[in-house]
Amino acid sequence: QWIKKNAGWWADDQITDSDFIKGIEYLVTHKIITY
């Protein structure tokens, strides 16, 4: 859910690219998502 919400904000230009990337990095760092 968090990812969908932030992706929507990012797509609507409500958050910056940098903020979106920081969020993804946090999820990867804490092994919430893997790649």
Q: What is the pLDDT of residue 33?
A: 85
Residue pLDDT, tens place only, 1-24: 878 998 999 999 999 999 999 999
Q: What is the pLDDT of residue 8?
A: 95
Q: What is the pLDDT of residue 34?
A: 82
Could you tell me which residues come within 8 angstroms of residue 34 by beta carbon, excluding any fewer than 6 positions away? Answer: 28
Q: Give me the number of domains the chain comprises.
A: 1
Q: What is the pLDDT of residue 31?
A: 92
Domain containing 2 equals 1-34
The pTM of the full predicted model, rounded to 2 decimals, is 0.73
Q: What is the pLDDT of residue 5?
A: 92
CA distances from 14 to 26, 28, 31 (A): 19, 22, 26
